[in-house]
Amino acid sequence: MLSWFQGPVADMLSWFQYQTCCLCSRGPVPDVLSLFQRSSSRHVVLVPVPDMLSLFQRSKVQFWNARLGNLEYIYDQLRDEKVRKMAVILEKTDSAYFPCFKTLFRNIVAALAEAKDIVLYLKPLMKHLALLEDTDFSEVTPFLRPLLYTVCLIWSHSCYYCNSSKIIVLLRQICNLLINQSDVDEAKQRVQLSLSTLKIFRELFDEYKERLPEFFIGREPMPWTFHPNIVFERFQSFLDRLNTVQSFFNTVIEFMKLEKVEIGGLKGRILSSRIVAVFAEFNEHLSVFACKTYDVLNPEDEAFVQDYVEFQARIRDLDRRLASVLCQAFDDCCNLESVFKLIEIVGSVLDRPLIKDEFTGKYKYIVEMLEVELASTQNLYTKQITTLEKYGWMPVDKNLPTVAGALRWAYQLRQRITIPVTSFRALQHP
């Protein structure tokens, strides 16, 4: 192999040139590997670089495809006949640069194997992610199960993605994709849809975590040993924020109903004016959010939470005032019909915790009034039947024939019982 040297001078000159080449290669080639760090003696792991983590903008696959091409090009150069001869000469001459060259070659081989493996297994995953991106969020639920199934297949078959650090980054990015796709607007239905879809994804994660051994056929399974909070920290923060937004929407919707509440009875005018005052004050508190410029759905921004806490403190005061008005309106009702009408008009406002605590004590009076009504109806029926048995006839509407009048009377008596009982059964109260 050394026959192509021509004398000691040429030998020495060539030897220095080879060492210079080896020294120069320590710069550009390691730059290609600079995004990698050793995780074990067997393979290398990608260092999380923020610009490279945008998996769902398809930059991940583009990055690994480009990296694979670069590594294949470098590997082909290192496998060239001249480079191989240079390596032999460095080894024969016991050069101090040979260990460096040897380490460099091993790193290229390891990085090339990793790039091939990752490119191979990311391709099927990208199909599911592209489908998820191109589908309206209201229709993504059926695609979540195949997505997680593919992630489990990658974990069980890929030699380089069967690593907690990589799979955690991947799952985090899937969570971020779902958060970005949620597209919550000012509609309460969209908030509820996002909550239900994200909760389904969280449940599917737990399901497939338990099913991981099914993906390791004929070999020892490798479970996900990391804590779910590592993956779902931001995901859970976003869920909590959505719950806060949903609670905010519920409060707004319930108080907006006060605009059309009008109470009758002797004190109706006074009580209605107090409800109007509560509604006006609520609108003032609500208008504070109109001038805010922060992103309500950004879980890292606590400004909304602070404003919401202050808003809730003011709403609690309004709840107490509203509970007092509604209790007085109930006391002013003279019969079951007016009671049930009041409850129907107010609606879900009675379900607010502070109002519910105050108003719950009134339900026992509804039971008492219903018992009185049933007893009164029973007395009327008994009196009418007694008259019929004694005289052979019973008083009916003078404008109706005897039989028709009797049927009309029975129907009205039945309605007097049925209507309040039906309304009572419809009450949402334990």
Q: Decide: helix, strand or coil at residue 294.
A: coil
- What amino acid occupies position 117? D
| pLDDT tens readout for residues 357-414 | 888 888 888 888 999 989 999 999 899 888 888 888 888 888 888 888 888 888 988 9
Which DSSP string corresponds to 29-79?
HHHHTTTEEESSSS-EEE---GGG--GGGTHHHHHHHHHHHHHHHHHHHHT
Q: What is the pLDDT of residue 269?
A: 86
**Average pLDDT by consecutive 10-residue portion of the chain (430 residues)?**
40 49 50 44 35 47 80 80 73 71 80 85 86 86 93 89 86 88 69 91 94 89 91 92 90 87 82 91 88 84 89 92 91 87 86 87 88 91 87 82 87 89 80
| DSSP for residue 186 | S
Beta strands in 63-197 (DSSP E): none
Token duo for residue 157: 């078959």
Q: Decide: helix, strand or coil at residue 45.
A: strand
What is the dihedral sign for C-alpha 13, 14, 19, 21?
Answer: positive
Strand pairing class (36-38; 44-46): antiparallel
| pLDDT tens readout for residues 148-187 | 999 999 999 888 888 888 899 889 988 988 888 876 655 6
Q: What is the pLDDT of residue 115?
A: 84
Q: Which residue, 352, 243, 375, is CA-closest to 305?
A: 243
Token duo for residue 180: 């970005």
Q: Which residues pair with 38 in a beta bridge?
A: 44
